Amino acid sequence: MTLLDRLRDLLGPAHVLTGDDTAGYRDDWTGHYHWTPLAVLRPGSTEEVSAVLRLASETGTPVVPVGGNTGLNGGAAAEGALMLSLARMNRLREVNPAARTITAEAGVILETLHDEAARHGLVFPLTFGAKGSAMVGGFLSTNAGGSNVLRYGNARALCLGIEVVLADGRVMNLLTGLHKDNSGYDLRDLMIGAEGTLGVITAAVLKLAPAPVAHATALLGMDTLAGALALLHRLQAGSGGAVEAFEFMPAHYMERLGRLKPELACPFEPCAVNVMVEIATTIAGEDPVERLETLLEAALEDGSLTEAVVATSEAQRRRLWTMRESAAEITFVQPVMVDTDVALPLDRLQEFLTRMEERLATLDPEAEVFLVAHLGDGNIHYSVYPGRDEASHLAAIRAAIAGEAVALGGSFSAEHGVGLSKRATLAAHKDPVALSVMAAIKAALDPKGILNPGKMLP
């Protein structure tokens, strides 16, 4: 029997896609990466994932896990490999409101978690633009961030336990709901953010939080990033740490948003720094809108804030969120670009932007910069549309962005993972000892190198 015949016996012919049936799995969301998989496999259980990986290990066949395929760095590229789609593994195994946990399989869509938590008066606070398609396995494998990291942390902070199938097919059951467990190495955190290179996450125990009973959301305009950060600190102090989002949209972002989506145009003449802020309360009877308005009025009076529009309805709140969540859609509008997601210490953000302006003036005077940022946690999505389309030139721009971020105490990768696009950057900037440890872990857990080969490690 051929490999594909054996896989059909394992999963059923309907769940082993080949040829034209793989059409929906040959590209990533950005359109920057294209490939032809050997087959797309659609297992329906952890046991089937285990059987697939045992067979792949036996035959030395590469396997690339894929969730919603909304990654931005080529992490699901699978030329000649078996793509392992976890979409059929979409069951909620347990919802435990008393423990404030939800156990979900890898194919559960993020928005489904939001809806299920809401039915119990709780919230799963991870959120970002692709929430309608991103899946549990994917957002854990990239340690996704999003807009609420400021208050709740990234995906790793919201996960208590995981179930993982290793390269040889063994199932590692770490599905604990414990908040404290010092029983050896933290293998859960090792797998989160590993992009499927060490194992395939098949299920997770995720943390829920009390659902806010009221929100206050506003769009603010001011002159400088330093002023915006000072205002963030004032809002944090004045709200008892209730700021959930603090999202930076510069003037050029607002200009393009208004041009491409007129219904989302900025309600005031865009300032140099425009920020969407949201605070929330879980206390019944408390009015966060009144509190936010009081804080903003003081900032307007002392001149640290130029413009402020506070949402007075849920429809207005959703419009402000849609303005921010349209970022990916209006960023990927040109076929040639360098997209990055760097992280900086909060007090070095403006310095990074200034230094990059100077670097690009020399490196590519015709380049256009487009950016948006999770300002509260220092994560800038910094994109460049270059003046010429040459691979070496694009690599030089990417290297410059990463180099400036690292030189200022930052990271070249904040929340999108490494995938294919940042492998050279990882080699250039990761501590050499850390790289050797990463390689040793990979060799120990995946000695045949079949799990998402060519990703992450240089």
Of 328, 358, 385, the position where a domain reaches its end is: 328
Per-residue model confidence (pLDDT) at position 78? 92
129 has a pLDDT exceeding 90: no
Give me the numbers of helices (H) and strands (E) for the chain, helices first please: 15, 18
Helix, coil or strand: residue 210 = strand
Question: Exposure of 99 by Cβ count < 10 A (0-12 exposed, 13-18 middle, 19+ buried)?
Answer: middle
Whichever domain contains 230, its CATH number is 3.30.70.2190
Cα(97)–Cα(120) distance, rounded to whole angstroms? Answer: 7
Question: Exposure of 231 by Cβ count < 10 A (0-12 exposed, 13-18 middle, 19+ buried)?
Answer: buried
Residue 457 lies in a domain: no
Q: Is residue 298 domain-shared with residue 395, that is, in the same domain?
A: no
CB 386 within 8 A of CB 340: no
Model confidence over 351-380: pLDDT tens digits?
999 999 999 999 999 999 999 999 999 999
Per-residue model confidence (pLDDT) at position 401? 97
Residue 447 lies in a domain: no
* Structural domain that includes position 366: 334-416
Per-residue model confidence (pLDDT) at position 65? 97
Whichever domain contains 409, its CATH number is 3.30.70.2740
Model confidence over 46-100: pLDDT tens digits?
999 999 999 999 999 999 999 988 887 889 999 999 999 999 999 999 999 999 9
Q: Is residue 319 domain-shared with residue 370, that is, in the same domain?
A: no
DSSP string, 251-284: HHHHHHHHHH-GGG--SS---SEEEEEEEEE-ST
Residue 437 lies in a domain: no
Residue 426 lies in a domain: no
Residue 14: pLDDT band with limits 50, 70, 90: very high
The whole-number average pLDDT for the span 423-443 is 95
Whichever domain contains 105, its CATH number is 3.30.465.10
Residue 29: pLDDT band with limits 50, 70, 90: confident
Q: Is residue 206 domain-shared with residue 218, that is, in the same domain?
A: no
Q: Is residue 223 domain-shared with residue 291, that is, in the same domain?
A: yes
The β-bridge relationship of strands 209-210 and 200-207 is: unpaired
The β-bridge relationship of strands 171-174 and 159-165 is: antiparallel
**Number of domains composing the chain:** 4
Model confidence over 208-253: pLDDT tens digits?
999 999 999 999 999 999 999 999 999 999 999 999 999 999 999 9
Of 85, 106, 133, the position where a domain reaches its end is: 85
Q: Is residue 323 domain-shared with residue 344, that is, in the same domain?
A: no
Residue 353 lies in a domain: yes
**Reported pTM:** 0.93
DSSP-derived secondary structure letter, 451:
B
Of 210, 244, 264, the position where a domain reaches its end is: 210
279 has a pLDDT exceeding 90: yes
Q: Is residue 98 domain-shared with residue 205, that is, in the same domain?
A: yes
